[in-house]
Amino acid sequence: MAELSNCKTCGTVFVKVFQPICPQCAEKEEKWYKTAVDFLRKKENRMATKKDLLEATLIPSQTLNAFIRTGRLSLKNFPNMHHPCERCQEPTHERRFCISCADELRKNFSLPLEQSQSEPQTIRETTYSYSLKNTFRLDGK
């Protein structure tokens, strides 16, 4: 019952199990992830920018973005690291959307503001379900 699929990253045909990328790419991604975590763990890198990280680790920026967007890496403790908002492309410390876009999205979903401020989980769920709708459009090229 094996399902053959093209790797989303390198195009190799492989037997799809859980993820849209082949085992080689998954392994590579795991290595990148560890490299990024190692870099961010170092005290002297607290003030590093994303460019510093990319240059020091040679991680493809798409891969790094994916780590941030999926929540595997957080930029919150790194004041100089920014990530383009998925909606307006402004630099942000948030996972996917800058504060003002998150705010607007929240309004569209008419959630009480104080609740979403104190419960980040609420924001995450909201932005997540919003972006899910758009993911297909954005990635379906």
Binding site for Zn ion (CB under 5 A): 7, 9-10, 12, 22, 25, 85, 87-88, 90, 98, 101
Which CB, 9 or 49, lies closer to Zn ion? 9
CB of 69 to Zn ion, least distance (A): 14
Q: Residue 18 burial by CB count (10 A; 0-12/13-18/19+): exposed, middle or buried?
A: exposed
Which CB, 45 or 74, lies closer to Zn ion? 74
CB of 82 to Zn ion, least distance (A): 12
Q: Which of 112, 106, 104 is nearest to 88 (CA)?
A: 104
| Residue 35 and residue 57 in contact, taking contact as beta carbons nearer than 8 Å | yes
Which CB, 46 or 108, lies closer to Zn ion? 108
115-124 own/partner pairs: CB under 8 Å, 24+ apart: 124/71, 124/95
CB of 65 to Zn ion, least distance (A): 15
- What secondary structure letter does DSSP report for 43? G
Which CB, 40 or 127, lies closer to Zn ion? 127
